[in-house]
Chain A
Amino acid sequence: MINRTNYTVQQSPHFEILSENQKERIFNGMMRTLQYTGAHVHHEKARELFKKAGCKVDGVTVYFPPQVILNALSTVPAVTEIFPWDGDDSKRIIIEKKRSYFGPGPTPPNFIDTETLERRKYLRKDASLVARVCDALPNIGYVQSLGSISDVTNGLADVYEFADMVRNTTTPIMSWSFTREGCHDIHRMGIAMAGGEEEFKQRPNYVFYGEPISPLVSDFHAIDKCIYCAEHRIPQVYSPCAIGGGTVPASHAGQLVVALSESMVGVIASQLINPGTCVIIGGVQSILDMRYSVYSYGAPELSLLSAALTEMVHYCNLPMYSTAGCTDTKKMDMQSAMEASLSINAAMMSGANFVHDCGYTESGLTGDIFQTVMDDEIIGMARIIEKGVEVNEKTLAIDQINNVGPGGHYLYEEHTMNHFKDNWMPSLMDRNSYEDWVEQGSKTMKDRIIEKTRDLIENYEGPRNKVPEKADNEIEKILQEAEERQKKEKK
């Protein structure tokens, strides 16, 4: 008999920053802030919406009573799924507490050229490259572009980015846009890839990313896009970049209160527009380095704050958009690896849903696909820790221990055959003997990362040829129409 009674299993490690009492206090801090300090909402229609729901509005400031907040939180769905457009559900995303998907981040102006390794402006060709490389990486669960395209018509970087990326990866994309128009273009492309509007509703294939301004300001476009996504039931992120000591208090608890409050405005707007639509909050949480006046992407505080905010966001029964795999360093080096390793492990332990910025260098100003490739390896390692230790009759292996006895070995055991593949197999880490390492070219980690990345760029095709012709044509048409609209606007 192998069943046991009153037996508890711990399937994964426990990692917790805040106690229930602390969470409650921070949550109440958010309620007090939204009720008495309020938030700026630069959008008349949104203010009217809030007013109708029972908020006090004074100029651009909206004060949210607790009941309005609690009502909004009660309608956010517990689970939402995002589907790859090609129907291969191995890449499906399930947005649910404690399931983590890692990916790059949006919009840095610069990119590390994959041939010269020099920093330059982000170009249109980089969007497809990032999408294709990410498509091949097993631990990258969703894709963002790592840049803002500089060589297309001003104001259309968002639309071109999505058009090129969605055709080069089946891994779900997190898109962004400047305005509602871009949002609409991208949505039409998502629908084209899904095969129709109804199909998109059944199987949404992307998530939209929007950002209010810290502290406590929702600018017109941020809330306008939030409303658009809610109307069309597009799963969306509404999260700020909170700068500890700059845009939010320097104390971590205070930062969590403000960060939570800023996002809550989007949660409330989305749920008032369309109760039950998916909204994800969180954002970049880090500190202002007071020596260099830089928003640090490698600070250990980023990991601590992100993990604590993840606990808060899950306390609110919302999904969390967190940050890891990024660095303040300018070139791939030991610092980038150290910072990425620590933050990825912390984000994994925290169970954040979407973990972005894998591939951000120079404090968020430069996208680096080599960093993403390195991060992919680190995520693989962190997943092993997340898996924890399985304890049952098979894994206890008491019989095998008895068979082998003292002084024997386990290499011939059937049990070993069945289990050794549970262990993580490195693709970049070096565990070679010194002699073999020399014979194979004495390659450093940096050499191996470059080699792997370039190999993917040259040899991995991605799904470009699988894109249905109809969808492909539709996307080209949408791009053309966007160009025409932009020309008209200029006039």
Chain B
Amino acid sequence: MDLSKITETLISGKSDELKKLVEEAINNDVKPADILNQGLLTGMDAVGQKWKAGEMFMPEVLRCAKAMSSSMDVLRPMLKDDDIGNAGTMIIGTVAGDLHDIGKDLAAMMFEGAGYKVINIGIDQSNENFVNAVKEHKPNLLGMSALLTTTMPRMGEVINSLKEAGIRDQVTVIIGGAPVTEEFADEIGADLYAPNAGTAVEITNEYLQNK
């Protein structure tokens, strides 16, 4: 089966059509890893490049990410751990006292687009909720966001709570939000910082590959 059709449909952001094609490929016994790598991820790579080149824009990119994510729902159960590579599970949320969610939601969608299973725990999440989510879902990635300078320190507190619970090493921690800086990420002991949702995936994948 020609997987380039999957790639093209993904680039055009047509969610339902893509899902059908992925199901068809599965029924035709195409290897799930090939569907993912040669079909879907090739498409998302092209989307990423087009975005960088100014040929595609955020709402279009998000449609592709959404299409990718809904196809992954079908494909994920067929995949072996090795097939997925670094794209594992991610917990993402905005810290306690902060009700801002657009940046965090954008990042969540971009990670879904890259093949991650993303569990978005929402806004105003207590330290305890972050820790419990990590315990429950065992993600390899934890994303936290804050828009207020008063809530920024909560991200450091969550990291400390993870340490106390003895699960800090299980996850790579990435943080973001308008006032957040690389320097601040270092200060609180986060692994990664991304200045925006677009680069977050790239930075994470590069880090996980070299880990």
Q: Name A residues whose Cβ lies closer than 8 Å to a Cβ of B.
A: 42, 107, 109, 148, 150, 154-155, 157, 178, 213, 217, 219, 243, 245-247, 288, 290-294, 364-365
Contacts and interface: CB of A to CB of B under 8 A. Distances in A.
B196 A292 contact: yes
Contacts of B153: 154
The 7 tightest CB contacts between A and B, nearest first, are A290-B57, A109-B179, A290-B58, A219-B99, A293-B196, A148-B149, A178-B150
Contacts of B54: 291
Interface-centre pick from A109, A245, A288, A293 (highest chain B CB count, 10 A)? A293
Interface in B135-154: 148-150, 153
B26 interface: no
A471 to B, nearest CB: 28
Contacts of B196: 292-294
Contact of B58 (A148, A178, A219, A293): A293
Interface string B103-129: 000100000000000000000000000
A154 B57 CA distance: 38
A365 B196 CA distance: 13
A150 B187 CA distance: 14
A358 to B, nearest CB: 20
Nearest to A212: B99
Contact of B102 (A155, A178, A247): A247
A243 B106 CA distance: 14
Contacts of A247: 102
B99 A290 contact: no
A245 B150 contact: no
B102 A109 contact: no
Nearest to A294: B196
A213 B101 CA distance: 10
Mostly, the B contact residues are: loop
A263 to B, nearest CB: 17
Mostly, the A contact residues are: loop
A157 to B, nearest CB: 7
Interface in B69-110: 99-100, 102, 106
Contact of A291 (B57, B100, B148, B197): B57
Interface residues of B, number: 19
Contacts of A109: 149, 179, 181
B157 to A, nearest CB: 12
B198 interface: yes
A246 B196 CA distance: 14
Contacts of B102: 243, 246-247
Interface in B24-82: 51, 54, 57-59
B45 to A, nearest CB: 18
Contacts of A294: 196
B178 interface: yes
6 contacts: A288-B58, A290-B59, A291-B54, A291-B58, A293-B196, A293-B198
A246 B101 CA distance: 11
Contacts, number: 41
A246 B100 CA distance: 12
Contacts of A364: 178
Contacts of A213: 99-100
Contacts of A178: 148, 150
B175 to A, nearest CB: 14
Nearest to A222: B99
Interface-centre pick from B100, B148, B150 (highest chain A CB count, 10 A)? B150
A107 B147 CA distance: 12
A196 B41 CA distance: 68
Contacts of A148: 149, 179
Nearest to B99: A219
A438 B181 CA distance: 43
Given A148-B179, A247-B102, 7 more contacts: A148-B149, A150-B149, A154-B150, A213-B99, A291-B51, A293-B196, A294-B196
Given A109-B179, A293-B198, A42 B99 contact: yes
A154 B184 CA distance: 14
Contacts of B149: 107, 109, 148, 150, 157
Contacts of A42: 99
A27 B150 CA distance: 35
Contacts of B197: 293
B32 to A, nearest CB: 32
Interface string B159-183: 0000000000000000000110100
Interface in B183-211: 196-198
Contacts of B100: 213
A361 to B, nearest CB: 14
Nearest to A109: B179
A155 B150 contact: yes
Nearest to A154: B153
Contacts of B178: 364-365
A217 B99 contact: yes
Interface-centre pick from B106, B149, B179 (highest chain A CB count, 10 A)? B149
A365 B147 CA distance: 12
A11 B18 CA distance: 62
Contacts of B57: 290-291
A148 B148 CA distance: 10
A465 to B, nearest CB: 32
Nearest to B197: A293
Nearest to B53: A291
Contacts of B150: 154-155, 178
Contacts of A293: 58, 106, 196-198
Nearest to A107: B149
B106 A245 contact: no
Nearest to A214: B102
A62 to B, nearest CB: 16
Contacts of A291: 51, 54, 57-58
A292 B51 CA distance: 9
Contacts of A150: 149
Contacts of B58: 288, 290-291, 293
Nearest to A148: B149
Interface-centre pick from B59, B102, B106, B181 (highest chain A CB count, 10 A)? B102
A155 B99 CA distance: 18
Nearest to B198: A293
A246 B179 CA distance: 18
Contacts of B51: 291
B101 to A, nearest CB: 9
Nearest to A219: B99
